[in-house]
Amino acid sequence: MPSDNYPYAVGRVRLLENALLDRGKLARLRELGYDEALRQLNDWGYAADYPIKNDPDALIAFRRAEVRAQVADITPDPALTNLFYLDMDATNLKLLLKSRLLGGKAEADEALSAGVFPLDTLRQAVENADYSALGKPLCGALGALEAELKLHVDPRLLSASVDKAIFTHIAAVLKKRRNAFCSNYFTNKIDYTNVLSVLRARALGWDETDLAPMLAPGGRLDEPTLLAALSAAEEQLPALLASGFNAEGLRRALELYRSGSFEAARDQIDESLLALALEGRYDSFGIGPIAWFILASESECRTLRVLFAKKRADRANA
């Protein structure tokens, strides 16, 4: 049963943090070959209760589910902690919609991962273009997307529309359950998402008409500023975009972008969001420590998936 007491929940999450792999351990795994890295991961007790030890993807999936269950057991407010799992629902919706529109059902099903909404509920919603089971905010936003899809199918707009629908859902939850930490985190996340859209649009040579539908409302950076950044000189981007609470993280990301690496800029923005959550990690009377643990665990899982995928590819090409 979830706790109704934040100090108790925070005390529990402090113990759970000990199972996270620190930077030193992740660096060690990068140095090792595939078999050695997998052996080392098992030696550290990662997903220790999972019986099959030779499949890193299965270990990672088990660990994700384990953390999810641990969070569900301790959180005083599941409606708030669920917000930090909605990225998976966004990914699932994008995969299911693209599968319905473009084909590739088997590949989509294989890539789905558990988020807040049951996978069968999402499958039925997308298959029937009926999102009422997902609640009013998502139903309205995704219903509008379905109307657009009847006119034309644009994969890039589809992805942005799903993100905006998820942000609409988050805003509706936070309107009912006001929480300063969550409001600050997701406002910054909207800004980061929009900045990435600007950088991607610049790389693709888009104009304002292409970019405007991709931007999510609700951030601190308004649409005129974001559109102005599309044609601004690179040296002007920090002054336009790196302001307010998100200034330092955005400035570092923009420096990486200017050096020629969009991927590095994107990774820096992911790190900046985790750093933002870190600011609430030591609040014994709020959701911050639980949110940080969720995000740190998800970041760890993503890192391990990429790490072992690369090692598999290297071994196959050796």
280 and 292 inside one domain: no
- pLDDT, one tens digit per residue, over 17-29 is 999 999 999 999 9
- pLDDT, one tens digit per residue, over 178-189 is 899 999 999 999
211 and 144 inside one domain: no
DSSP class of 215: P
Confidence at 252, pLDDT banded by 50, 70, 90: confident
CA angle 173, 162, 101 (to 5 degrees): 145
CATH assignment of the domain containing 220: 1.20.1690
Mean pLDDT of the chain: 90
> What are the DSSP calls for 217-235, one per residue?
SSSSS-HHHHHHHHHS-GG
Q: Which range of residues forms the domain containing residue 278? A: 180-286
Read off the tokens for 88. Answer: 């998976």
**Which residues have C-beta within 8 Å of that of residue 318, sequence separation ≥ 6?**
none
303 and 251 inside one domain: no
156 and 205 inside one domain: no
242 and 304 inside one domain: no
- pLDDT, one tens digit per residue, over 29-43 is 999 999 999 999 999
Task: Round to whole Å and give the CA distance between 268 and 92.
Answer: 24
128 and 216 inside one domain: no
Query: Which one, of 78, 26, 113, lies nearest residue 307 by Cα?
Result: 26
Which pTM value belongs to this model?
Answer: 0.90
CATH assignment of the domain containing 59: 1.10.132.50
- pLDDT, one tens digit per residue, over 272-318 is 888 888 888 888 899 999 999 999 999 999 999 999 999 999 888 86
215 and 276 inside one domain: yes
Residue 240: predicted pLDDT? 87
Residue 245: predicted pLDDT? 62
| Domain count across the chain | 3
151 and 163 inside one domain: yes
Report whether pLDDT(194) > 90. Answer: yes
Phi, psi (degrees; rounded to nearest 5) at 211: -80, -40
Read off the tokens for 34. Answer: 């595939």
Secondary-structure breakdown of the chain: helix, strand, coil percentages, each rounded to the nearest 5: 75, 0, 25
Average the pLDDT over 195-203 and give the result: 90
